Amino acid sequence: MRKTELQINLRNLEHNLSVIKSKTTSVIQAVVKANLYGLQLKQIIEILDSKVESYAVITLDEARDLRKLTKLPILLLQGVHENEDYKTVSEQELDFVLHSSWQIKSIDKFKLASNRLWLKVNTGMNRLGFSEQEFLENYNLMKNKNFRDIVVMSHLASSSDILNQQNQSQINTFDKITDGISSKKSLANSGALFNYPESHYDIVRTGIALYGGKYQEFGIKSISCLRSKIISIKKISRGETVGYDGMWRAKQDTHIAAIGIGYGDGFPYFSESFSVNINGNLYKTVGKINMDLITIDIGNEKKIKVGDWVELWGYETNLTELSQKFNSISYQLLTNISRRVAKNYLE
């Protein structure tokens, strides 16, 4: 059996949830889109289900899969993509976002009395959401319809950057627009949870902080460890090259270890060396990653054997810093891991 796996530490997940809850008195919505940031659903939902108020996803397929595992509210973060989608929204009793006028046109054709409506206002991110005037008109229209509840929401553009003045501007705009509105409110994501307590309102929407992709400075722990076993060790001589296009050339006699993971498993493409952990020591990758293999210069270390584990990232890894080596972000590291990488859960 191919020995490449993403270990997922459920105790660290519980720890992160405790840290998050210690920072706010608001209820928590767990953002579990993109197959729960690549970590898969079942085992993690079992941890979260008694500790969060609701979940958030993007697609109807994600919502259907999640509905099999929970009775908690499930929010479609982008709302429907076609008006016919309201049929599934009704059948699955999903929360849904309204951010554009076209989503309203056929809403009365469906039975949505058991659903919670999230009305999105654009406060400056300029991505999704109604303008102030559109929002007020649609809020007055929607509150007279028979929804279970209405939540007013927006989204901060730069919540991880506490020095970015746009954040306070957006918070002020949200306060101004929603002044006098009695509905529940939601603005904060993971970054705002830590950096802007005044943005918490009633419901905080946390994603990456739950899974340890960012915010280690606040006590968040990585919950994942990506590793693969050595499947080959080859001695090469000074001057020989390794891998596609011969980009790496040995400066001295050495040994090259190969592990069975590549960009076909969702690891970022690279041609520059970076460090991996073997038996507690760091070694450099060499050559280009390919679809199914990564090669590592282990020198003349005789203690390293075929079958030893190689960690590409571990529980102590700062995924934000690691992702920067690939001109990427921690979100992409996690969500890109493919289904052919086994997921093993640790209690």
Where does the chain hold its CATH 2.40.37.10 domain(s)? Answer: 224-314
What is the architecture, at CATH level 2, of domain 10-211? Alpha-Beta Barrel (3.20)
Listed residue (90, 29, 91, 40) closest to 62, CA to CA: 40
Query: What local confidence, expressed as pLDDT, does residue 88 receive?
Result: 96
- Asked if 243 contacts 287 with a C-beta cutoff of 8 angstroms, the reply is yes
pLDDT of 320 over the 90 cut? yes
pLDDT of 347 over the 80 cut? no
Length of the chain as a residue count: 347
The model carries a pTM of: 0.93
> Does residue 33 carry a catalytic annotation?
yes
Average pLDDT over residues 189-211: 97
Query: Looking at the domain that runs over 224-314, which CATH code has it been given?
Result: 2.40.37.10
Taking phi first (over 0 means left), then psi (-120 to 50 degrees means alpha), and beta for anything else, what does residue 266 get? left
When pLDDT is cut at 50, 70 and 90, the band that residue 37 belongs to is confident
The pLDDT tens digits of the residues spanning 73-113 come to 999 999 999 999 999 999 999 999 999 999 998 899 999 98
Query: What local confidence, expressed as pLDDT, does residue 186 receive?
Result: 98
The pLDDT tens digits of the residues spanning 230-240 come to 999 999 999 99
> Of 111, 145, 244, 305, which residue is the catalytic one?
244
Amino acid identity of residue 115, one-letter, is N
> Does residue 196 carry a catalytic annotation?
no
| Secondary structure, 3-state, the chain | CCCEEEEEEHHHHHHHHHHHHHCCCCEEEEECHHHHHCCCCHHHHHHHCCCCCEEEECCHHHHHHHHCCCCCCEEECCCCCCHHHHHHHHHHCCEEEECCHHHHCCHHHCCCCCCEEEEEECCCCCCCCECHHHHHHHHHHHCCCCCCEEEEECCCCCCCCCCCHHHHHHHHHHHHHHCCCCCEEECCCHHHHHHCHHHCCCEEEECHHHHCCCCHHHCCCCCEEEEEEEEEEEEECCCCEECHHHCEECCCCEEEEEECCCHHHCCCCCCCCCEEEECCEEEEEECCCCCCCEEEEEECCCCCCCCCEEEEECCCCCHHHHHHCCCCCHHHHHHHCCCCCEEEEEC
Where does the chain hold its CATH 3.20.20.10 domain(s)? Answer: 10-211
When pLDDT is cut at 50, 70 and 90, the band that residue 41 belongs to is confident
Query: What local confidence, expressed as pLDDT, does residue 286 receive?
Result: 97
CA distance 264 to 259: 13
> Of 33, 120, 185, 214, which residue is the catalytic one?
33
pLDDT of 144 over the 90 cut? no
